[in-house]
Homo-oligomer: A and B are copies of this chain.
Amino acid sequence: MVISRSLHCLRCARPAEGFDGCRTCAAEGIGVNTMPPLADLGGVDLTGYPGGPWGLPSALPVSGPPVTLGEGNTPLIRLRNDQDRDGADGPAGEVRLKHEGGNPTGSHKDRAMAVGVAAAVAAGADTVVAASSGNAGAAAAAYAARAGLRCVVFTNEAVPAGLRAQIDALGAERVVHPGTTADRNAAMARAVQEPGWYPLTSYSAPSPGGNPYANEGYKSVAYELARDLAGRRLDTVVVPTSRADLLAGIGRGFRELAAAGLIAREPRLVAAEPAAAAPFTAALRHPDRADQERTRVAAGPTVAFSLGEERPCWQGLDALWRSGGTAVAVNDEAISAEHRRLAAEGLLLEPSSAVGVAVARAQARTSGALVVAIGTATGLKGLGG
C-alpha cells in the first residue's frame, strides 16, 4: 500500500508533514489543515459508482486493499415539507436527508476512519489513537479492529453511556482524561511522538481539523449525491458543523466533480451550528476575511453534544466562501423541536443531525429549491443510556 505524501497547507500552500496542520498559519492563530491535491475525476462514470470512499479508490490518497465495513451508500430520504404540513402557499422547496446513521457504526465518521485506518496500515502503524467524545472514537475502534490494529481512544467524562459501551464492545482501550482539551491534546501529542501511535484525529491548537487522509473519505458524500440526484439541480447542502471536516470534505468532492464536468455547478454549502457554539456563524458576521479567520467564540454546552468548537477551521470557511454559502446557528429549543419532528416522521437521529435539518427546512422555504441536509448519526446510541 502506498500513501501520497504531498500534503500542503490549504491556506498558505506550504508543504507539510505530519498531522498537526499548518504550523505557520497556526502561529497566526489560524487552524488550517494540510491536504493532498484534489483528485482528477476525468473519465469517471458516476452511474457505475458503487458508493463509499472505496467505490472510487483513485480519488483517495491511499491505495491498496481497502479497509472497509461497507460504509457509505447511505439513503437519501425526502422529508415532509412545510407545504405538506401547513398547506402554505408558494414553493416550499424540497428537503432530503442524507442519512449517515446507516453507516456501520452509525455515523458519517465511518467514511473517514475507513480511509484513515488504511493510511495507518500503509504507514506501518500497529496502534491508532483518536481523541473523541463519541462517534469518531466508535468508528476508529471499529475500523482498527477490522484491520487488526490496536486502538486507543482518549475521551472526556461527557461521553454518553451508549457511545462508551460501543467503543468498549469494539475492543478499543478507552482512556478518560479529566483535564482540559489542552491536557488531552498534549497527551495525544506525546503518544504520537514517542510510542509512534498513528493519529486519526487532531491534537494541536488551534485545531486544524482531522487526519487529512481520513478526511478524504468524506468526498464520497458528494459523489453519492451527484450520482443519486443526476439530472436534478441540487441547490444547497447543509452540514452540521463542528470542526468542519465533513463540510470541507464534501466541498472538495463537489469541486472535483465540477472540475471533471460531472456536475454542472457546485451547490451552496451551509454550515449549521448550535447557537451555544457557533464560530462559523460568528465569523461570517465580519466583513473582512482576515477577521473571519481569527474569530473565536465561547463554546457552551448544547443538546447537540457532538458539536461545539471555539474557532472556525479555515478549510470550513474556504468551503463556504467558494460555494457562496453561509453559516446558521440554531438554539437548543429549535434543535429539540426538530429532533421531535424528525421522530414524528419516523426518523431517529442524534440531536446534532437535527441542527442541519432545521436549517435545511428554512433554506428550502426561502429558496423553493432542492436542499439536502446531512444527517450525521443515528439516534440509537442515545437510547436506554
Residues of A at the B interface (CB closer than 8 Å) are 68-71, 73-77, 99, 101-106, 141-146, 160-162, 164-166, 169-171, 343-348, 378-381, 383-385
Q: Chain B's nearest CB lies how many Å from the CB of A195?
A: 22
Tell me the complex Cα distance, A101–B69, Å.
12
Tell me the complex Cα distance, A374–B379, Å.
23
**Which residues of B lie under 8 Å from residue A169 when comparing CB positions?**
343, 348, 379, 383
Complex contact A380–B104 (CB within 8 A): no
Complex contact B380–A162 (CB within 8 A): yes
**Which residues of B lie under 8 Å from residue A105 when comparing CB positions?**
348
Tell me the complex Cα distance, A104–B385, Å.
20
Q: Which residue of B lies closest to A143 (CB)?
A: B346
Complex contact A99–B106 (CB within 8 A): no
Q: Chain B's nearest CB lies how many Å from the CB of A306?
A: 15
Q: Chain B's nearest CB lies how many Å from the CB of A265?
A: 25
Complex contact B383–A69 (CB within 8 A): no
Given A378-B380, A383-B385, A346 contacting B170 (CB threshold 8 A): yes
Other than A106-B380, A142-B348, A146-B345, give 14 A-B pairs with Cβ distance below 8 A.
A69-B75, A70-B74, A70-B99, A73-B73, A104-B346, A142-B346, A160-B384, A161-B384, A162-B383, A166-B383, A169-B343, A170-B346, A171-B344, A381-B383
Tell me the complex Cα distance, A70–B224, Å.
14
16 A-B interface contacts by CB (under 8 A) = A68-B77, A69-B99, A70-B75, A75-B104, A101-B104, A102-B103, A104-B346, A105-B348, A141-B346, A144-B346, A164-B384, A165-B383, A380-B381, A381-B383, A384-B384, A385-B385
Q: Which residue of B lies closest to A47 (CB)?
A: B48
Q: Chain B's nearest CB lies how many Å from the CB of A82?
A: 15
Tell me the complex Cα distance, A151–B347, Å.
15
Which among B77, B99, B101, B166 is the interface contact of A348 at CB below 8 angstroms?
B166
**Which residues of B lie under 8 Å from residue A346 when comparing CB positions?**
69, 104, 141-146, 170
**Which residues of B lie under 8 Å from residue A161 when comparing CB positions?**
383-384
Tell me the complex Cα distance, A76–B346, Å.
25
Complex contact B170–A348 (CB within 8 A): yes
**Which residues of B lie under 8 Å from residue A345 when comparing CB positions?**
145-146
**Which residues of B lie under 8 Å from residue A378 when comparing CB positions?**
106, 380
Tell me the complex Cα distance, A62–B129, Å.
50
Q: Which residue of B lies closest to A160 (CB)?
A: B384
Complex contact B69–A347 (CB within 8 A): yes
**Which residues of B lie under 8 Å from residue A75 when comparing CB positions?**
69-71, 73, 104
**Which residues of B lie under 8 Å from residue A170 when comparing CB positions?**
343, 346, 348
Q: Chain B's nearest CB lies how many Å from the CB of A159?
A: 11
Q: Chain B's nearest CB lies how many Å from the CB of A379?
A: 7
Tell me the complex Cα distance, A116–B73, Å.
25
**Which residues of B lie under 8 Å from residue A68 when comparing CB positions?**
77
**Which residues of B lie under 8 Å from residue A380 when comparing CB positions?**
106, 162, 166, 378, 380-381
